[in-house]
Chain A
Amino acid sequence: MTTITDPAPAPARDRAADDTSLAEEVRTAGMVWKRELIRFARTRIRILTGLTQPLLFLFVLGYGMASLVGTTAGFDFKKFVFPGVVAMSVVSTAIFSAMSIVWDREFGFLREMLVAPVSRTALVLGKTAGGATVATAQGTIMLVLAPLIGVHLTGLLVLEVVGAELLMAIALTAFGVFIASRIARMESFQVVMQLVLLPMLMLSGAMFPLSGLPHWLAAITRINPLTYAVDPLRQAVFAAQQMPLAARERFPVGVELFGHTLPVGLELGIVAAFAVVFLTIAVRAFGKPE
């Protein structure tokens, strides 16, 4: 629009200019994404604190349980829990990134975004992409620990892990954005997240195998979207390891639903479906006008 000095009345103005082009939307989302990355890179302390919890689970829980579970054909609990800990790292970083919306609201920056002549979809997609990128990066950093616990890495495995992480991160960031859009205060967000995040992680199969659970517990794990994200990650890691049959039986993978073991593709499809649903409700919840 360069017709700013044109004193023509409203109807004469170019109405088509009201709608932003796809390129503009992408540019906006890209900027929001970039902001997330800048903020992440600037808060190194956050990267470190993001590592502590998964490290605790991997080494403390890993070694603690290893003595109980024992080693089967050279395969121990640490190797089993490793993909779960990677998932955990992705999930908590994703949620933490989404939580920054509550900060943005508190410090006013959310308003700067909401009054801009851009679509809420672009803002939510940018925010989600940013959070998901950061979460994937955080999860991938965990891979450097793999050799320490004897998990063998291949190029293909790293690619598979990054892919699964990204999908999981998108779904969880979108979920977090939805929650954060509905919540005005930091305290409330933390409460909600304690009530949601920890149970979600505990019931996802990240910490223990999902087979042989009591029915009620099994049912809960099956409605947890995270379950379908953790399993493909673990399957990918296990596929790259030399695992004797005994170890495979001791540390089973796969999610059974209605008596069928779900193929990995379907699991990933379920996660993707959750991502779409969460994104949709996040866009709707984000910044309702007065």
Chain B
Amino acid sequence: MQLDSDGRTPSGASAPGAAGGTEAAVEARELTKRYGELEAVSHVSFSVRTGEVFGFLGPNGAGKTTTIKMLCTLARPTSGEATVAGLDVASRPKAVRRRIGLVFQEQTLDQQLTAEENLRFHAVLYRVPREQVASRIRRALDLVDLAERGRDLVSTFSGGMARRLEIARALLHTPEVLFLDEATLGLDPQTRALVWKDVLRLRDEEGVTVFLTTHYMDEAEYADRIAIIDHGRIVALDTSDNLKAAVGADTVALGTADDEVALAALQAAGFAAKPTAEGMIVLVEDGESAVASLIAAATVPVRHVRVHRPTLDDVFLHFTGREIRDEPGEARSGMQLAWTARRR
């Protein structure tokens, strides 16, 4: 059932909480969206397992949001098809929407209502049975540690609290798939970490599948699998470990009691070792498991060891030839404006 962008066999990524995974939570086949001449998303295919955290990583304008919009039935695909929770997005939009939770880049709370009132509004619109509304609201607020603030107006909330409330709201109707579209944009690192703690807890406790887009490298690390998207195409799709492995070897930096002796000994033992100012670096397949044999082969006492694995930054550079670093994107400045405006 697994489809991959360029026909590669997908890795055996572990998806904790995956309930067997017989049915893909999200499946896209040749999904394409054209706006006039511009092909925002081009023949994208992928499959997300139930209970998986799946990340779309790419720069602004890569097609991440357009893909999410199609999956959430907010934009019609120009061609190709997609199913969410086993339902076709084009022919059954309402049924799809009932089974998904959405958190957007922009805030979508009513500032003049309390947290509870916002949640109740959502519960009714998403047909939460009357007798369950109160208990679900309580549970949702508990999940994001906002139980104490339920009766406070949202206008008194910080950006991070509001965002966590939105995540709680998105889960109120027990969706099968939670879509997070750059949900942590504009939040400070501590708040982002807090939001992520919530999301992962929800995945573990509620078994919800998470589909996220981000252009923060460190956030992509939370995903079980990552699709790197650039210019509307998936250029790579795998676990972050496999993606990094595809980029190249790990490097182990060593400093020893006698670097000359150690370097010669390592090279004699068949390691690809090169001298550096602080000692030497050795290119190996798997840095962590190579450390023991490197120390043994060095023949002299080793003073320090540092293993460097390729980062997702390296991965992105490798696959797109560009760095993802914050391009001056409109999304970000727009967001900041929105926040300032909201503070009034």
Q: Do A and B come from one complex?
A: yes
Q: Which residues of A contact B (CB under 8 A)?
A: 1, 4-5, 7-10, 13, 15, 17-20, 24, 27-28, 30-31, 35, 38-39, 42-43, 104, 106-109, 111-113, 115-118, 289-290
Asked, given contacts A10-B88, A290-B74, whether A109 binds B108 with beta carbons under 8 Å apart, the answer is yes
> Are A1 and B176 in contact, with the CB atoms below 8 A?
no
Distance in Å: Cβ of B266 to nearest Cβ of chain A: 53
B125/A13 in contact, CB under 8 A: no
- Give Cα A9–Cα B87 distance, bound, in whole angstroms: 8
B108 engages A116 (CB within 8 Å)? no
In the complex, which residue of chain B has the Cβ closest to the Cβ of A4? B176
Partner of B98, one of A5, A30, A43, A117: A117
Most buried by B among A106, A115, A118: A115
A42 CB contact (under 8 Å) in B76, B83, B112:
B112
Which of B116-124, B226-234, B284-292, B307-315 makes up part of the contact surface?
Answer: B116-124
* Contact for B122 among A10, A30, A112, CB less than 8 A: A112
In the bound complex, do residue A107 and residue B125 qualify as a contact, i.e. CB atoms below 8 Å apart?
Answer: no
Residue interface mask B107-131, A partner, CB < 8 A = 1: 1111111000100111011110000
Residues of B within 8 A of A117 (CB): 94-95, 97-98, 125-127
* Residues of B near any A CB (own CB < 8 A): 19, 22-23, 69, 72, 74-76, 83, 85-88, 92, 94-95, 97-99, 102, 104, 106-113, 117, 120-122, 124-127, 174, 176, 338, 341-342
Q: Which residues on the B side are within 8 Å of A106 (C-beta)?
A: 341
How far does the alpha carbon of A42 sit from the alpha carbon of B111 in the complex, in Å?
Answer: 12
Given A1-B98, A116-B97, are A109 and B110 neighbors across the interface (CB < 8 Å)? yes
Known: A18-B94, A112-B108, A115-B97. A8 touches B86 (CB 8 A): yes
- Closest A-chain residue to B104, C-beta based? A111
Residue of A9, A17, A35 most packed against chain B (CB within 10 A): A35
Given the contacts A7-B86, A10-B88, A115-B102, A35 and B97 also touching, CB distance less than 8 Å: no
Complexed CA–CA distance, A112 and B122 (Å): 8
Contacts A107-B107, A108-B108 given; does A4 touch B113 at CB 8 Å: no
Assembled-state Cα–Cα distance A4/B107 (Å): 28
Given contacts A7-B23, A109-B110, contact A116 B74 (CB under 8 A): no
Contact partners of B22 in chain A: CB under 8 A: 7
A42 / chain B contacts, CB cutoff of 8 Å: 112
Q: How far is the CA of A20 from the CA of B97 in the complex (A)?
A: 13
CB <8 Å contact, B69 and A27 = no
Q: Which residue of A lies closest to B33 (CB)?
A: A290
B69 lies within 8 A of A290 (CB): yes
**A-B complex: 10 closest residue pairs judged by Cβ atoms:** A116-B125, A108-B108, A31-B124, A7-B23, A117-B97, A112-B108, A117-B98, A117-B94, A290-B75, A109-B110
Closest to A111 in B: B108
Contacts of B98 in A (CB 8 A): 1, 117
The residue of chain B having its C-beta at the shortest distance from the C-beta of A106 within the complex is B341
Given contacts A8-B86, A117-B94, A117-B98, contact A35 B113 (CB under 8 A): yes
Measured CA separation A184–B156 after assembly (Å)? 26
Asked whether A111 lies within 8 Å of B125 as measured between CB atoms, the reply is no
Known contacts A111-B104, A115-B102, A289-B74, A35 near B110 by CB under 8 Å: yes
Q: Within the complex, what minimum Cβ distance (angstroms) separates A9 from chain B?
A: 6
Cβ–Cβ contact A35 & B127, under 8 A:
no
- 24 A–B pairs (Cβ distance < 8 Å), ordered by A: A4-B176, A10-B86, A13-B87, A13-B95, A20-B94, A20-B127, A31-B121, A35-B113, A39-B110, A39-B112, A104-B110, A107-B342, A108-B104, A108-B108, A108-B338, A109-B109, A112-B109, A115-B97, A116-B126, A117-B95, A117-B126, A117-B127, A289-B76, A290-B75
User: Residue of B at shortest CB range from A9?
Assistant: B86
* B95 nearest in chain A by CB position: A18
A35 and B121 within 8 A (CB): yes
> Other CB < 8 Å A-B pairs besides A4-B99, A18-B92, A109-B108, 9 of them?
A17-B95, A28-B124, A38-B112, A107-B111, A107-B342, A108-B107, A108-B108, A112-B110, A117-B127
In the complex, residue of chain B having the shortest beta-carbon distance to the beta carbon of A290: B75
Residues of B within 8 A of A30 (CB): 124
B34 to chain A, nearest CB (A): 13
Taking a contact as CB atoms closer than 8 A, the residue among B72, B83, B124, B342 that contacts A10 in the complex is B83
Q: What CA separation (Å) do A113 and B121 show in the bound complex?
A: 9
Q: How far is the CA of A38 from the CA of B87 in the complex (A)?
A: 37
B124: A residues at CB distance < 8 A: 27-28, 30-31
- How far apart are the CA atoms of A4 and B19 in the complex, in Å? 12
B125 touches A118 (CB 8 A): yes
CA distance A118 to B98 in the complex (A): 9
In the complex, the answer to whether B125 meets A5 with C-beta atoms within 8 Å is no
CB distance from A131 to the nearest CB of B (A): 15
**Among A10, A19, A42, A117, residue most surrounded by chain B Cβ atoms (within 10 Å):** A117
- Distance of A187 Cα from B125 Cα, bound (Å): 30
Q: Which of B83, B127, B176: most chain A Cβ within 10 A?
A: B127
Give the complex CA separation of A7 and B27 in angstroms. 14
When the two chains form the complex, which single residue of B19, B95, B112, B121 contacts A5, counting CB atoms closer than 8 Å?
B19
Contacts of B107 on A, CB cut-off 8 Å?
107-108
Chain B residues closer than 8 Å to A104, beta-carbon distance? 110
Cα distance, A9 to B24, chains bound together (Å): 11
From B94, B109, B113, give the contact of A108 (CB < 8 A).
B109
Contacts of A13 in B (CB 8 A): 86-87, 95
**Most A C-beta atoms less than 10 A away, residue of B92, B112, B125, B342:** B125
Query: How far, in whole Å, are A285 and B342 apart by their CA atoms in the complex?
Result: 27
Q: Cβ of A38 and Cβ of B95 under 8 Å apart?
A: no
A287 to chain B, nearest CB (A): 11
A43 touches B112 (CB 8 A): yes
A115-B72 in contact given A1-B98, A35-B110, A35-B113 (Cβ < 8 Å): yes
| Bound: A269/B94 CA distance, A | 36
